[in-house]
Amino acid sequence: MFLETKVLLAKRDELLKVERSKLNKKPGMAHIWVGDDAQTAIFVRVKKNKAAVLDCDYYLHNFSAADNRQLSALIMGLNVRKDIQGIVLQLPLPKSNDADELIDLIAPEKDIDGLTTNSPYLAPTPIGVIAILEHNNINPAEHKTVIIGAGRLVGAPLAKIFESRNWPFTHITKDAQKRTQEISQYDLVIGCSGVAGLISPEMVTNETIVIDASGVDADVKALEPLVKSITPAKGGIGPLTVSFLFENLLKAANR
């Protein structure tokens, strides 16, 4: 069985339209992407389309390769542009780039991905995960939860949310493939590793709820018949992440 997301996304779309209608100025988002990954290209297209729907400006800065000096100059320039309210640095960056250095350069008030220490915005994907849970009446306080992965975009901030709400959970940050039997003991499995197919059939039972927070951790077609419920392969966390990202953009434009 798939977790319900269509109604949730429809409600989110209406909310964004209402919030956009309250703004007198046109919000602008700058998206910095180094590389040509096909999966990332899909997200780029989705963001561009959402910007068009909400009548927001979307500026894509795509490089096949760029060093930190080039990217630093770009970010500093975007920080002072009045037509840009949100800056998104696409992660992961190539290994030759220092992500921490670049993230620290983003003006907190424009950090709509919630990456910087002083950003006033919550990270979009973790909030999307919480929205799915709440919409489907799943209370983490009543489940035995494991969060797999500790990345900057999803795993780490999601763990902080669980901690802030006093929800019990186990955080597996590495070697999850070696802990198959242990993971199968949890009834709420949240995959945030970004490793394709990491959540194997041996890690789940017919009582397991699977949230694929990265969009690739779970082979949904293989797992769906085996589990109690799972996020859909399409129309799940990806669109919700974009929805909450644009909510942050609208908030930034309203600041």
**For the segment 196-221, what is each residue's pLDDT rounded down to a tens digit?**
999 999 999 999 999 999 999 999 99
* Residue 117 pLDDT class (50, 70, 90 cuts): confident
Looking up residue 196, the CATH number of its domain turns out to be 3.40.50.720
Mean pLDDT, to the nearest integer, of 184-188? 98
Q: Please check the confidence at residue 134 and state whether its pLDDT lies above 90.
A: yes
| Domain assignment present for 36 | yes
SS3 label, residue 224: coil
pLDDT of residue 154: 96
Same domain, 143 and 231: yes
Q: What pTM did the predictor assign?
A: 0.95
Q: What is the distance between the alpha carbons of residues 111 and 245, in angstroms, rounded to a whole number?
A: 10
Looking up residue 98, the CATH number of its domain turns out to be 3.40.50.10860
Q: What is the distance between the alpha carbons of residues 170 and 203, in angstroms, rounded to a whole number?
A: 15
CB atoms near residue 34 (< 10 Å): 24
Q: Please check the confidence at residue 235 and state whether its pLDDT lies above 90.
A: no
The DSSP element (H or E) to which 239 belongs, if any, is: helix 237-254
**pLDDT tens, position by position, 101-116:** 999 999 999 999 999 9
Count of H helices and E strands in the chain? Answer: 9, 8
Domain endpoint, select from 109, 143, 167: 109
Q: In angstroms, what is the C-alpha Rg of the chain?
A: 18
Per-residue CA distances from 177 to 174, 183, 195, 202, 220 (Å): 8, 9, 10, 10, 18
| Domain assignment present for 18 | no
pLDDT of residue 38: 87
| Domain assignment present for 118 | no
| Domain assignment present for 205 | yes
CB of 210 closer than 8 Å to CB of 218 = yes
Domain that holds residue 102: 23-109
Number of domains in the chain: 2
Same domain, 172 and 203: yes
Same domain, 27 and 104: yes
Q: What is the distance between the alpha carbons of residues 119 and 106, in angstroms, rounded to a whole number?
A: 9
| Domain assignment present for 37 | yes
Mean pLDDT, to the nearest integer, of 117-142? 97
Domain endpoint, select from 82, 109, 136: 109
pLDDT of residue 196: 94
pLDDT of residue 219: 95
Rounded mean pLDDT of the chain?
A: 96
| Domain assignment present for 11 | no
Q: Which residues pair with 170 in a beta bridge?
A: 146
- Which residues are CB-neighbours of 220 under 8 A, at least 6 positions away? 212, 230, 231, 232, 233
| Domain assignment present for 253 | no
**pLDDT tens, position by position, 141-180:** 999 999 999 999 999 999 999 999 999 999 999 999 999 9
